[in-house]
Amino acid sequence: MEAELTALAASGATAFVGLMVTEAWTQARGRVARFLARGEDVDVIDAELEESREELIAARRNGDEDGAADVAAEWRIRLRRALRDNPEAAEELRGLLDELAPGKPAGTTVSINHNTINDGTYNGPVIMAHSIHDGVRTVPGREPGAR
């Protein structure tokens, strides 16, 4: 059970810290603060979350990966302690995470497409790719630059 709570704390911290750098954070922050407060002053937790957000943004802006990781570690530890002290909160945290990440795919989605280009006339680029990198595009059987 301890391993499960530790994994849940890590998932929660990852989700919370990930949200901190998005526009969705303004809606999520209050919910996260109320969950984390657990008898403490919600405004104090809210201020701590905002301070962490500012630290995270500054770290990312400066390319400080360690600083960004420190913010995530801080909230992972705090969530783990909260769950250790109140294991019943695990279900509440799961629900909160589900609400904050709706539509998250349950498994891997595979999409298969089949495109065919007939004839040798190309009126413009025809590209279908997962990612496109700088470089020369060639048509099999033709020299680069040939029409």
The three-state DSSP-derived secondary structure of the chain is: CHHHHHHHHHHHHHHHHHHHCCCCHHHHHHHHHHHHHCCCCHHHHHHHHHHHHHHHHHHHHCCCHHHHHHHHHHHHHHHHHHHHHCCCHHHHHHHHHHHHCCCCCCCCCCCCCCCCCCCCCCCCCCCCCCCCCCCCCCCCCCCCCCC
pLDDT bucket at 116, cuts 50 / 70 / 90:
low
% residues pLDDT > 90 (the chain): 37
Provide the mean pLDDT of the chain: 79
146, pLDDT greater than 60: no
Q: Tell which wins on pLDDT, 108 or 136.
A: 136
In whole angstroms, give the CA distance from residue 78 to residue 32.
12
Give the mean pLDDT of 12-35: 90
8 Å CB contact between 52 and 74: yes
**pLDDT in the model for residue 57:** 93
pTM over 0.75? The answer is no
